[in-house]
A and B are shown apart, each in its own frame.
Chain A
Amino acid sequence: MSPLDTFLFTALPYVAIIVFLGGTIYRYRATRFKYSSLSSGFLEKRTLFWGSMPFHWGVMMLFLGHLIAFLFPRSVLAWNGEPVRLLVLEVAAFIFALSVLWGLAMLMIRRVGSARIRAVSSYMDVLILSLLMAQTVLGLLIAWNFRWGSSWFAASLTPYLRSIFAFQPDIAAVSAMPWLVKLHIVGAFLIVLAIPFSRLVHVLVVPLHYIWRPYQLVIWNWRKDRVRDPESGWTVTRPRNT
């Protein structure tokens, strides 16, 4: 366990998580206007389809996969007990990662190649795409070289991640990992670190409440059943409409 390991696997994660929490909350409260997916489909739609669709569907699946391995490592190990099922899982994950990589490549080509998209691009946009791309390539290399990731992730990395969240970081296992894996872990925390400063905040405001709400939305600044009621007192506190 070198000092570098301690820095990368103990300090960095905590810095990333604290900055992530503080940053996103601050950004939401102070400059909510900046919470946006910043869609650029209005300026260019065709390449976006070949980029955004494979990227997002793939990344959703991969995120879900990592989350399941983090939350239910035992189930994953049990699932992998059967070689066929292990193979299905690994191949599916690999394909999703390829889809993400393809999508990212298209998004990157579009971002730097199209004059209109360049007009609405920040350095952060390019940085995020590069970071995600590096992360995906690392993931693919790991999956190819160190089989089978779904099993050893559940066995060694889940305990490490849990130790972080339990405030008792135990980095013995990760320190012994190959450097490819180490880079992948560092990449993950860098992405978390970048969320508050980039458009990635859109992931935090995914509009799932749309599913339950009625289609039409009418907002009274004042409660209509009370506004003409002489019994109700006048107040300067405005009901908020957000």
Chain B
Amino acid sequence: MDIRAQISMMFHLDKCIGCHTCSVACKNIWTDRKGAEYMWWNNVETKPGTGYPTKWEDQDVYKGGWKTRGQDITLRGAGKLRGLLNIFHNPHLPVIDDYYEPFTYKYLDLIESPAQDDQPTARPVSMITGKPIDIKMGPNWDDDLSGTPDFARRDPNLANLTPAEQEAMFQLEKMAFFYLPRICNHCLNPACVASCPSGAIYKRGEDGVVLINQKVCRAWRMCVTACPYKKSYYNWSTGKSEKCILCYPRLEAGHAPACMHSCVGRIRYLGVMLYDADRIQEAASAPEDELVDRQLDMLLDPFDPEIIAAAKANGVSDSTIKSAQLSPVYRFVKEWGMALPLHPEFRTLPMLFYVPPLLPVMASVSEARAADQKSKMAPMAKKWEDDWLYNTSTEELWGTIDQVRFPIQYMANMFGAGDGARVTEVLKKLMAVRIHRRDVTVGDMKPAKVKATLADVNLTPEQADEIYTLSTLARFDQRFVIPPAHREQAIEMLDFTGDAKGSVGFGFREQPARGN
């Protein structure tokens, strides 16, 4: 056993309102620079949709992640042989147009315009060439299903859905969507690290944060191909790759990462997980239907005395073990089995987990006689004339989950490597917690039914209450259980951070000037 600590994340998708505050927080701190304008280390995409960069999930196009080769796994589009042979020209490198050409507007033209008959306009200009451009795309062009024929319909996760299922998803009155916020997953088997010929990318032993050493990166640009989540970005100006750093300077100072701290919906949780590094290889090369199980098996119980002893022997500090015990991520992922990794079939063992959203699945629109509805309402209530009712009734519990308006298979393609049963299980738990809470607060449910519901998903009423509390009422320090940094082990804390301002990230002081 080789026990290590990993700071891991959990995003509760039922709570995401798609406001992009996280993206803006990250951009303001880290990527508001030349060459990085197009980068969104944190981005939020609408699902169904093609995402950012366009169709990133389609590895037939981008060749990211690992694939099996016999008993083993190998990088799909990079690696020792393929990477070195393609080093002069990487055929699988995404280009700027796959993301979008960064642009600004000539605002000055508005101010400096001479008096004239027509209104002056601020033309869009490219932030690369400075020339006027027609804006064709942005990082969230398909927000809220806009441009559905071009975007949502081309979602790679629709591939194995029946035509009928696909049609059903896009009927106007049945349409549903949810948001998928994404940052780097700080994977246990990172494809970016494995693909870097220079060895510039590494995983920090102490907390598992994956970083790119800017001094060692030489623009061989293999990580951009290898990361199946497209979370390693190429800075076209400095000639270096960059990625989410999990705000490690903030973590070391005890602050939550900027995107998480600023999250309006409070969907984000962060905490330590202990895992067994000896099992990485085995878990990453498991058969597709076992991938999630094997990954979850690697994550260890921080209360088990044997595991605590082994962790200590491996240099994990007491305070980190304590954080692991308090970790909200551990509870959601391991204790309650409610959070799943995104696209486990990419085999990087991502350590960002998602609670899949129940709402788009559960609510269906049914026809109801307007007259019947009106009779139920108070005389003063506003009345609608149409006959459609947004039905969130919990009468036929599991019935709604199976006859969902959002195909389970679609969710399964994202969170279960195609296994619908696993996603259904999580959705049922989410539903059961709601029913239990309705029983507690409204009290209009049949007690036998409530009991049966909880029993069906193996939850006790106490657990359901805890899930409810951590999902909805959790305070800041319950959502973010950040292990105290140890001065003697941190990179930054021995330096005066003021010195690093305006230089390349942290860790060394040098103007981010491009070579020539």
Contact = CB atoms under 8 A, between A and B. Distances in A.
- Do these two chains interact? yes
Given A33-B504, A43-B236, A52 B198 contact: no
Contacts of A147: none
A138 B236 CA distance: 34
B317 A41 contact: no
B313 to A, nearest CB: 8
B96 A42 contact: yes
A47 to B, nearest CB: 10
Interface stretch (B210-218, B352-360, B363-371, B458-466): B210-218
A210 B214 contact: no
A224 B96 contact: no
A217 B213 contact: no
B338 interface: no
B218 A35 contact: yes
A177 interface: no
B80 A219 contact: no
A208 to B, nearest CB: 8
Contact of B514 (A38, A52, A213, A218): A38
Contacts of B193: 215-217
Contacts of B176: none
A49 B91 contact: yes
Contacts of B490: 221
Interface in A103-137: 115-116, 118-120, 122, 124-125
B89 interface: yes
B98 to A, nearest CB: 10
B237 A120 contact: yes
A207 interface: yes
Nearest to B237: A120
A207 B198 contact: yes
Interface stretch (B125-133, B152-160, B263-271): B125-133
A36 B203 CA distance: 22
Interface in A39-71: 39-45, 48-49, 52-53, 55-57
A34 interface: yes
Contacts of B317: 227-228
Interface in B255-290: 280
A39 B219 CA distance: 6
Contacts of A216: 189-190, 193-194, 203, 280
Given A41-B95, A220-B205, A120 B236 contact: yes
A219 B507 CA distance: 14
A7 interface: no
A166 interface: no
A205 interface: yes
B58 interface: no
A210 B201 CA distance: 12
B443 interface: no
Contact of A115 (B131, B203, B239): B131
B219 A43 contact: no
A33 B515 CA distance: 8
Given A37-B219, A125-B516, A219-B202, A210 B234 contact: no
Nearest to A222: B489
Nearest to A122: B516
A143 to B, nearest CB: 24
B314 A33 contact: no
Given A32-B215, A210-B80, A217 B504 contact: no
A227 B280 CA distance: 24
B315 interface: yes
Contacts of A44: 95
Contacts of A37: 218-220, 239
Contacts of B198: 205, 207, 210
A116 B234 contact: no
Contact of A242 (B80, B93, B129, B215): B215
A1 interface: no
B37 interface: no
B205 A43 contact: no
A44 B89 CA distance: 11
A36 B217 contact: yes
Contact of A207 (B218, B238, B314, B512): B218
Contacts of B164: none
A182 interface: no
Given A44-B95, A199-B516, A224 B236 contact: no
A35 B84 CA distance: 18
Nearest to B98: A42
B126 to A, nearest CB: 8
A69 B132 CA distance: 53
Nearest to A212: B80
Contacts of B130: 119
Interface in B483-516: 488-491, 494, 504, 508, 510, 512-516
A211 B80 contact: yes
A234 interface: yes
Contact of A217 (B96, B199, B220): B199
B89 A234 contact: no
Given A42-B96, A52-B89, 14 more contacts: A34-B515, A36-B515, A38-B515, A39-B220, A39-B239, A41-B93, A43-B236, A119-B130, A202-B218, A207-B197, A216-B189, A216-B280, A217-B203, A223-B315
* 10 A-B pairs with the lowest CB-CB distances in the bound complex, closest first: A224-B315, A220-B205, A34-B515, A207-B197, A215-B194, A38-B239, A36-B239, A56-B88, A210-B197, A122-B516
Interface of A: 31-45, 48-49, 52-53, 55-57, 115-116, 118-120, 122, 124-125, 197-199, 201-202, 205, 207, 209-211, 213, 215-228, 234, 236, 238, 241-242
19 contacts: A32-B216, A33-B238, A41-B93, A49-B89, A116-B96, A116-B129, A125-B516, A197-B516, A202-B219, A205-B198, A207-B198, A210-B80, A210-B84, A213-B199, A216-B189, A216-B194, A221-B491, A228-B315, A242-B215
Interface of B: 80, 83-84, 88-91, 93-96, 128-131, 189-190, 193-194, 196-199, 201-206, 213-221, 224, 234, 236-240, 280, 312-315, 317, 488-491, 494, 504, 508, 510, 512-516
